[in-house]
Amino acid sequence: MYTSRTVDELPEYIAVSPITVACPRCHAEPGKVCEVLVGRGLEIVHIERIKVALAMDVSAKDRLARARIPSKPSE
């Protein structure tokens, strides 16, 4: 049985995909893979690109966590 998701069930954060950022190693544009092994159909994404996306994820999650810290009640 298919059930639709409501807005209340959406995730708080969606991770950054490495394919959506430019590759610092080979300069592949967002949306393009770094390399394709011809004959094998294997698409390669460089580790440097994955690290950039991971750093963006960590930064975004930190900003999200700081935004949720309740302020101290004034006395």
For the chain, the structural domain boundaries read 14-67
Residue 14, token pair as written in the block: 């969606």
Residue 56, token pair as written in the block: 């963006």
Cα–Cα distance for residue pair 22/32, rounded to 1 Å: 9
Cα–Cα distance for residue pair 56/62, rounded to 1 Å: 10
Cα–Cα distance for residue pair 21/24, rounded to 1 Å: 9
pLDDT in tens, 40-70: 789 999 999 999 999 999 998 888 888 876 6
Cα–Cα distance for residue pair 32/10, rounded to 1 Å: 28
pLDDT in tens, 20-32: 999 999 999 999 9
Q: Which residue(s) pair with 44 in the sheet?
A: 35
